[in-house]
């Protein structure tokens, strides 16, 4: 069973990691938009 | 469109939860491998979703080469990126399944090696898109994507035409999968396809806004240079 859970956990870790990366990119972009508006 | 996204996200979350329940509880236990065979319900749908995304990348790259359409270029980039994520899942869950069944994590047979090559091709595609800023980058990337897509049928058909360690096809030619297992497999594929679509949707919007911001920043820099002169 440990291999089964490891595989399922790894799958979701990869997806959550990618979604986290997208969120960070979104935040950085939002910051850039705020800076542009200040100018 | 603003309302459609959260509704679709909720439907996808429900579908993924249901698919997980089906894979862990409803699907029958395989006689020789036991419970570890249930990795199949994540491994195979992830592979099919990755192939689908690389196919979209191929189509979008072709459209870009013919029409120089920006939307096609964004779609090509987005599908390659999400496709690499799903291909990574395949390359990680495969060895976790292989270890208890074959006794080894990895073997350099045709199916596994070609999948690794496929992953490397699309990672190099993303590296090219990330670090090359020339105006010809989308064009070069589109050509690379078309060559990369040639590997997808090679990966898929490798288990038909070569003797490999990898199991034979379970659906289609020569496949005899238990109908209950096939049902769970298709539900998981549907759930992961919806999830991939949702992620692509967010990534597409992000890329559109990023390009607008880049354009505005470039314009601003140009105006600043002119005002200094």
Q: What is the pLDDT of residues A1-39, one digit of tens each?
A: 899 999 999 999 999 999 999 999 999 999 999 988 887
Interface test with A, best of B22, B82, B93, B194 (most A CBs within 10 A): B93
CA dist B48 and B20 (Å) reads: 17
Interface confidence (ipTM) of the complex: 0.94
A23 interface with B at CB cutoff 8 Å:
no
Residues in chain A closer than 8 A to B35 (CB atoms)? 1, 4
Break chain B into its structural domains and give their ranges: 4-228
Q: What is the pLDDT of residues B112-147, one digit of tens each?
A: 999 999 999 999 999 999 998 888 899 999 999 999
pTM score, whole prediction: 0.92
């Amino acid at each position: 069973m440990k291999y089964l859970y490891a595989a399922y956990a790894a799958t979701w870790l990869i997806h959550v990691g990618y979604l986290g990366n997208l969120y960070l990119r979104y935040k950085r972009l939002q910051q850039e938009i705020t800076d542009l508006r200040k100018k | 469109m603003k309302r459609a996204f959260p509704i679709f996200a909720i439907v996808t979350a429900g579908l993924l939860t249901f698919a997980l329940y089906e894979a862990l509880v409803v699907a029958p236990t395989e006689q020789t491998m036991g419970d570890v065979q249930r990795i199949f319900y994540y491994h195979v749908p992830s592979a099919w979703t990755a192939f689908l995304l690389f196919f979209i990348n191929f189509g979008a790259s072709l459209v870009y080469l013919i029409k120089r359409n920006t939307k096609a270029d964004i779609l090509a980039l987005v599908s390659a990126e999400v496709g690499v994520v799903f291909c990574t899942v395949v390359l990680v869950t495969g060895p976790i399944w292989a270890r208890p069944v074959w006794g080894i994590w990895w073997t350099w047979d045709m199916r596994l090696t070609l999948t690794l090559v496929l992953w490397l091709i699309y990672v190099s595609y993303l590296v090219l898109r990330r670090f090359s800023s020339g105006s010809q980058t989308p064009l070069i990337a589109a050509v690379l994507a078309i060559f990369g897509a040639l590997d997808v049928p090679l990966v898929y058909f490798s288990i038909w035409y070569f003797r490999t360690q990898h199991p034979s096809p379970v659906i289609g030619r020569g496949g005899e999968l238990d109908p209950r297992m096939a049902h769970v497999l298709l539900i998981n594929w549907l759930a992961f396809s919806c999830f991939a679509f949702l992620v692509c949707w967010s990534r597409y919007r992000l890329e559109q806004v990023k390009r607008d911001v880049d354009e505005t920043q470039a314009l601003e820099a140009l105006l600043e240079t002119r005002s200094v002169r």
